[in-house]
Amino acid sequence: MKILDGKKLSEEIKNEIAQEVAGIKDAGGKIPHLAAVLIGHNPASESYVRSKVRSCDQVGFESTLIRKDDSITEEELLEIIHELNTSEDVDGFIVQLPLPKHIDEVKVTLAIDPKKDVDGFHPVNFGRMAQGLPCYLPATPYGILQMIERYGIETSGKHVVVVGRSNIVGTPMSILLSRKAKTGNATVTLTHSRTKDLAAEVSRADIVIAAIGIPNFISADMIKEGAVIIDVGINRVEDETRKRGYRLVGDVDFDGVSEKASYVTPVPGGVGPMTVTSLLMNTLKSSRKEIYG
Ligand code: NAD
């Protein structure tokens, strides 16, 4: 079994981005600028946003973090989005989800200018993705595609089973891998909480992509010998031996599955770092005006 090392791969990609940014700087060009809006004090969101800002520093991007309290109104948040949409300086921005209950996430997503939607969540980008048009790919599926491509894993003609149908991971992943494209041409089964015999579906997969949010849900007995296992899940489980009182585990029973799989992504250090890198790649594309001119 080989590890799909997202941490190492994301460092390689960040080095490539840093070189390009150094070139832009030398030529006196505009430095790519990513902004992040963080509402409230959700510990997981704080940690994701910290890592995004740190990654910007690492590659030489400008970054702006806009922090607001849980008490912010929807109107105030929409005003911040409007300012970011019209800012000459900001190339792309994200609004970290989840948002407080009194704010409509759909309304917020729709308010983001698709040209600056580097998370790739806006329906315009989603629709363009589905039709194979230039767009910002949603960050997590984009990171997974990069990983599959750079590790030379064949997808053409393979059977992929995606577990979980969220708008940000499972559904776009199923569309991307079934496209007529270099990392695509797979036959994809999209499974979810109403799937009748999930274990039987997963057992037929050459490649499994698990995005469920249940610790260790995919076990060794469910997978085929030699399957490629991509674990998107990030779950906190109590662990008193750790200083923080918890540890992170994926949706896959890593130890069990490692005995049978050909490739597995670890958690942490697999898909997570690739997601952050994709955000940087989308921001770079925005600053180059590659997608929307
Ligand atoms: P979600 O929480 O929006 O939805 C979960 C999906 O799992 C649903 O489509 C549901 O149908 C399916 N599901 C739930 N129970 C199931 C069951 N018993 N059998 C089959 N399917 C079932 O999903 P999400 O936002 O895609 O997040 C999934 C996981 O991925 C979470 O742990 C999240 O933290 C993690 N995540 C990680 C990254 C990353 O960068 N690594 C990015 C996004 C999400």
Could you report the per-residue pLDDT of 1-30, keeping only the tens digit for each?
A: 999 999 999 999 999 999 999 999 999 999
SS3 for 118-149 is: CCCCCHHHHHHHHCCCCCCCCHHHHHHHHHHH
Distance 271 CA to ligand 1 centre (A): 13
Q: How far is CA 18 from CA 49, 60, 211, 290, in A?
A: 20, 6, 30, 18
Distance 79 CA to ligand 1 centre (A): 30
The answer to whether 92 and 118 have CB atoms below 8 angstroms apart is yes
- 119 counts as catalytic: yes
Q: Indicate whether 167 and 228 sit together in one domain.
A: yes
Q: Indicate whether 74 and 183 sit together in one domain.
A: no
Q: What is the pLDDT of residue 43?
A: 93
Among 96, 231, 251, 285, the one annotated catalytic: 96
pLDDT in tens, 49-101: 999 999 999 999 999 999 999 999 999 999 999 999 999 999 999 999 999 99
Helix and strand counts by DSSP (H, E) for the chain: 10, 11
Q: How far apart are CA 117 and CA 124, in angstroms?
A: 10
Q: Indicate whether 116 and 229 sit together in one domain.
A: no
Is residue 285 situated within a structural domain?
no
Is residue 174 situated within a structural domain?
yes
Q: Indicate whether 103 and 49 sit together in one domain.
A: yes
Q: How far apart are CA 135 and CA 127, in angstroms?
A: 9
Total count of domains within the chain: 2
Q: What is the pLDDT of residue 37?
A: 98
pTM of structure: 0.97
Distance 208 CA to ligand 1 centre (A): 14
- 52 counts as catalytic: yes
For the CA atoms of the chain, what is the radius of gyration? 19
Q: Is the pLDDT of residue 293 over 90?
A: no
pLDDT in tens, 190-234: 999 999 999 999 999 999 999 999 999 999 999 999 999 999 999
**What residue's CA is closest to ligand 1, atom 22?**
193
How many angstroms from the chain centroid is the CA of residue 45? 14
Q: What is the pLDDT of residue 53?
A: 97
- 224 counts as catalytic: no
Containing domain of residue 191, as a range? 139-272
Is residue 17 situated within a structural domain?
no
